[in-house]
Amino acid sequence: EAGVTQSPTHLIKTRGQQATLRCSPISGHTSVYWYQQALGLGLQFLLWYDEGEERNRGNFPPRFSGRQFPNYSSELNVNALELEDSALYLCASSFQQGPQYNEQFFGPGTRLTVL
Amino acid sequence: GNSVTQMEGPVTLSEEAFLTINCTYTATGYPSLFWYVQYPGEGLQLLLKATKADDKGSNKGFEATYRKETTSFHLEKGSVQVSDSAVYFCALLKAAGNKLTFGGGTRVLVKP
């Protein structure tokens, strides 16, 4: 069974540009999560999508946004890039069967570098 | 809010040494607790988990016990290998919001 896939592997942008990161969940998973792993700041929760809706959002400015498509894949968009947006962006997916916990499986990440 | 504190690294060990990584948490109610491992250049892999007090998670020789009274979830392995060199993250999950809260990570380096 294929795991969570992310593209691109690496992305280089300049300050002020927009970046689009993509994630395909494990087949059958309806929830997708985005996390930011910035140097020195650890892993921070960004967004949770389930069944096409944004369910929860971390403490990030509105220029971080995303969406989930009918096939449950997801995009993370970062507008007006700043140098501190340079990080590894990890996507995870899970089943969502009611309010109980469902294990999150992580992809390999997209490394975004802002110059 | 919820938070996770784990010991800072790097932790450098010789092969076959005993490994302990301390993790404590702050949360209301009864979160689920996890250890994730990140090998160089890779994403996160779930190492083990515990969903209620006194549960012991175990995998690949690693163990951790959910201690409600001390709000801790320390990771242990009796005999480490070079291949265990990685960054280890302790995390908690509250069902509402499905948001994993991570500790800062502990880099472990095992030398032959």
Tell me what pLDDT residue A36 has: 96
pLDDT score at A23: 98
- Rounded CA separation B37/A85 (Å): 23
Chain A contact present for B3, CB below 8 A: no
Contact at CB, A35 and B100, closer than 8 angstroms: yes
* Probe site for chain B from A101, A102, A105, A110 (most B CB atoms < 10 A): A101
Among A48-52, B33-37, B93-97, the least confident range: B93-97
What is chain A's pLDDT, residue by residue, as a tens digit (115 residues)? 689 999 999 999 999 999 999 999 999 999 999 999 998 778 999 999 999 999 999 999 999 999 999 999 999 999 999 999 999 999 999 987 665 667 889 999 999 999 9
d(CA B74, CA B81): 19
Strand-pair partners of B77: B19, B62
Is A90–B43 a contact, with Cβ atoms under 8 angstroms apart?
yes
pLDDT class of B29 with cuts at 50, 70, 90: confident
DSSP state of B84: G
Structure tokens at B13: 């060990």
Contact A43 B102 (CB under 8 A): yes
Q: What is the pLDDT of residues B54-91, one digit of tens each?
A: 999 999 999 999 999 999 999 999 999 999 999 999 99
A80-111 in b/e burial notation, b at 16+ Cβ within 10 A? ebeeebbbbbbbbbbbbeeeebbebbbbbbbb
Cis geometry, peptide bond prior to residue A8 (ω within 30 degrees of 0): yes
| Cβ within 8 Å, pair B93-A101 | yes
pLDDT tens digits along B42-53: 889 999 999 889
Chain B residue with CA closest to A109: the answer is B43
Which helix (H) or strand (E) segment holds residue A96: the answer is none
Round to whole Å and give the CA distance between A97 and A53: 15
* Token representation of residue B84: 């265990």
Nearest to A4 by CA among A72, A67, A50: A72
Other beta carbons less than 10 A from residue A18's beta carbon: 11
Indicate yes or no: CB of A106 within 8 angstroms of CB of B98: no
Instruction: Note the pLDDT of residue A100.
Output: 60
| pLDDT for the residue numbered A42 | 84
State the smallest CA–CA distance between residue B48 and chain A in angstroms. Answer: 11
Collapsing DSSP states into helix, strand and coil, what is residue B13? Answer: strand
The phi, psi pair for B18, rounded to 5°, reads -90, 135
DSSP code string of A46-80: EEEEETTEEEEE-S--TTEEEEE-TTS-EEEEE-S
In terms of residues, how long is chain B? 112
Q: How many CA atoms lie within 13 A of B111 on its CB side?
A: 5
B93 close contact with A: CB closer than 8 A? yes
Say if CB B84 and CB B21 are below 8 A apart: no
